[in-house]
């Protein structure tokens, strides 16, 4: 299948993408891809360094006639989000991504594709290995762990880069020029709870599946269903009308992905089992109608399962369900200054309650630091009311737009010239590394762009072939027009 990918145009870019996707590269397990990129740079005879945390920097001199142009920093991240459908058998730690062509799209078989940010990485690799592409001096910056903490960007020291212009290749709409982004923080609530031995009854497994999911920043405004919230709603409704003991809840996976699936195991009285199943079926009809536009494949099922040994005590169960119900999820506030921009949001990303302990995980974002702090305080308070220990980690700053920067003006005008329409110059609610990198390189002009990549952070991820061709031509023309020193 990957041979089919290598035949696409531009073939060098797609070939490098296929090579990259053959290397397992989950966030926080980037050793293999770091070694891969390091060997790539050294194999080209280019100056290659790996910093203390694993960021890779490769420097290439300007091509003849471009020596008087400003040095350009080309930046993308090496890690990718690992998500798969529950019925897909795949080991991200050992297997390369299985890709295929579907019309004008490249997709993966039941997993994330890694186009985020693999197309950016492959683009930079193509420039570094080229012998016939005009370009100024290039500094390729490949960061690690962008998807689960941005620790690569946070740890990059000043003084390693000389360029004053950075092209970040991590935007996912080919008509957008991104010039600002939100900051974020991880919220984790943990604790233990008392359990009661089961004594008779029937055990039922409730499944919420088929939600669209997506990027918890870039897609949060689309109103897609959150499996953790939907499961909690089901359990809360059942608890009002029946004697229900919850043994286990397991929903969501990564903080930066809108949860697509959730599973729970409950114990009910023998004579309530049929009515409980009917109640879930009735609620399923309502939920499918509510989410028929955003999540057409939502599936809710309830089946008899093996009896667990224990369930939560009633007091903790009530506190848990009410706290999850109260936890803000989705858009918290839209920007009053930039039309259509989400200013603050929260993604209730992961719930795991099992064997006497629990963990609730959120990713909170905002382009206004004070509002991010306020939303964080609200979520912290919600979980502290159930006596959870709440930890904050992974905070990173937003990226303040500088719309008058020369590189933004150059690329805006060039887009109009090449495509006879105006680019959408905007800020995004997703997290980009530019704001972090700017703390040690405050004078660097930054802009982010890329091809059409849809469904990022979900197994529906796909990249548009024709859009990659458009973006690639735009990138090459931008390099040709790099300002002189």
Burial, 94: exposed, middle or buried (Cβ in 10 Å; 0-12, 13-18, 19+)? exposed
The answer to whether the CB of 324 falls within 8 A of the CB of 228 is yes
SS3 per-residue string spanning 390-406: EEEEEEECCECCCCCCH
Could you count the other beta carbons within 10 Å of the beta carbon of residue 380?
18
Alpha carbon dihedral 331, 336, 340, 344, in 10-degree steps, equals -30
38 sits in which H/E element: helix 31-43
- Do the bridges between strand 176-181 and strand 424-428 make them parallel or antiparallel, or are there none, so unpaired? parallel
- C-alpha triplet 309, 312, 315: angle, nearest 5°: 155
Q: How far, in Å, CA of 16 to CA of 443, rounded?
A: 32
Q: Give bridge partners of residue 186 from the DSSP assignment.
A: 363, 393
Structural element, H or E, at residue 330: strand 330-334
* CA atoms 79, 24, 453, 41: torsion sign: positive
CB atoms within 10 A of CB 475: 25
Q: In angstroms, rounded to a whole number, what is the distance separating the alpha carbons of residues 71 and 62?
A: 8
> Which residues, including other chains, have CB under 8 Å from residue 45's CB and lie 6 or more apart?
none
Q: How would you label 443-465 residue by residue, b for 16+ Cβ within 10 Å and e otherwise? A: ebbbbbbbbbbbbbbbbbbbbbb
Cross-strand bridge partners of residue 269: none
Q: Which residues in 262-296 are b (16+ Cβ under 10 Å) and which e?
A: bbbbbbbeeebbeebbebbeebbeebbeebeeebe
Strand 202-209 relative to strand 299-304: parallel, antiparallel, unpaired?
antiparallel
Residue 475, both tokens: 């990138």
Catalytic residues: 79, 146
| 16 contacts 125 by C-beta, under 8 angstroms | yes
Of 466, 442, 464, whose CA–CA distance to 454 is shortest? Answer: 464
């Amino acid at each position: 299948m990957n041979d089919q990918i290598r035949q696409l145009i531009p073939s060098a870019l797609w070939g490098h993408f296929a090579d990259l996707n053959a290397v397992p590269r989950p966030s926080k397990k980037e050793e293999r891809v770091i070694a891969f990129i390091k060997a790539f740079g050294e194999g080209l005879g280019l100056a290659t360094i790996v910093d203390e945390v694993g960021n890779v920097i490769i420097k290439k001199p300007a091509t003849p006639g471009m020596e008087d142009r400003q040095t350009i920093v080309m930046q993308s991240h090496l890690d990718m989000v690992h998500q798969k459908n529950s019925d897909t058998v795949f080991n991200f730690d050992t297997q390369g991504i299985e890709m295929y062509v579907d019309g004008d799209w490249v997709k993966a078989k039941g997993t994330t594709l890694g186009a985020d940010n693999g197309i950016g990485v492959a683009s930079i690799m193509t420039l570094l290995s080229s012998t016939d592409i005009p370009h100024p001096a290039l500094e390729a910056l490949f960061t690690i762990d962008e998807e689960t903490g941005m620790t690569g960007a946070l740890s990059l020291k000043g003084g390693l880069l000389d360029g004053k212009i950075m092209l970040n290749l991590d935007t996912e709409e080919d008509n957008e020029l991104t010039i600002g982004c939100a900051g974020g923080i991880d919220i984790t609530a943990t604790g233990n709870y008392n359990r009661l031995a089961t004594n008779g009854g029937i055990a039922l497994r409730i499944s919420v599946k088929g939600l669209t999911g997506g990027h918890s920043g870039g897609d949060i405004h689309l109103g897609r269903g959150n499996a953790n919230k939907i499961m909690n709603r089901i359990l809360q409704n059942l608890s009002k009308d029946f004697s229900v003991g919850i043994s286990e809840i397991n929903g969501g996976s990564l903080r930066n992905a809108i949860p697509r699936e959730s599973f729970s195991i409950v114990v009910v009285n023998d004579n309530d089992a049929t009515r409980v199943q009917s109640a879930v079926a009735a609620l399923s009809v309502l939920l499918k109608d509510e989410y028929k536009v955003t999540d057409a494949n939502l599936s809710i099922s309830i089946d008899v399962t093996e009896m667990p040994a224990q369930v939560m005590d009633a007091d903790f169960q009530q506190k848990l369900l009410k706290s999850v119900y109260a936890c803000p999820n989705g858009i918290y506030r839209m920007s009053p200054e930039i039309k259509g921009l989400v200013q603050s949001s929260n993604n209730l990303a992961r719930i795991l309650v099992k064997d006497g302990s629990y963990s609730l995980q959120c990713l909170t974002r905002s382009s206004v630091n004070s509002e991010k702090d306020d939303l964080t305080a609200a979520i912290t308070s919600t979980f502290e009311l159930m006596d959870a220990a709440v930890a904050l980690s992974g905070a990173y700053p937003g990226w303040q737009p500088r719309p008058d920067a020369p590189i933004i003006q150059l690329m805006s005008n060039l887009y109009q010239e090449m495509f006879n329409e105006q680019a959408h110059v905007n800020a995004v609610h997703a997290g980009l590394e530019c704001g972090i990198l700017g703390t040690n390189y405050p004078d660097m002009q930054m802009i982010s762009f890329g091809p059409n990549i849809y469904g990022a952070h979900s197994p529906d991820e796909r990249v548009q072939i024709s859009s990659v061709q458009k973006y690639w031509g735009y990138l090459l023309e931008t390099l040709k027009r790099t300002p002189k020193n």
